[in-house]
Amino acid sequence: MDKTKSPEVVAGVIHNAFFQASVLAIMKKKPPSLVSLCLGVIGRHFEDIIEDLAEIAAIPSTMKMALVAIARRRRLLNDDVIVALADSSWKILDLSGSEVSDFGLSQVVKTCKHLQAVDIRCCILIISFVEGFFVFRNNMHVRKDLLV
Which pLDDT tens digit goes with each residue over 6-24? 555 444 445 555 666 666 6
Q: Per the domain annotation, does 30 fall within a domain? A: no
Q: Per the domain annotation, does 105 fall within a domain? A: yes
For 119, other C-beta atoms within 10 Å of its C-beta total: 19
Q: What percent of the chain has pLDDT over 70?
A: 68
Q: Per the domain annotation, does 34 fall within a domain? A: no
Torsion from C-alpha of 83, 84, 86, 88, nearest 10 degrees:
110
Q: Per the domain annotation, does 82 fall within a domain? A: yes
Q: Per the domain annotation, does 55 fall within a domain? A: yes
Give me the domain span that covers residue 95: 45-143
Q: Per the domain annotation, does 99 fall within a domain? A: yes
Q: Name the least confident of 20-34, 52-66, 101-115.
A: 20-34
Q: What gap in Å lies between CA 39 and CA 73, rounded to an integer?
A: 14
Mean pLDDT of the chain: 79
Q: Number of folded domains in the chain?
A: 1
Can you tell me the mean pLDDT for 28-40? Answer: 85
Phi, psi of 141, deg, nearest 5:
-95, 125
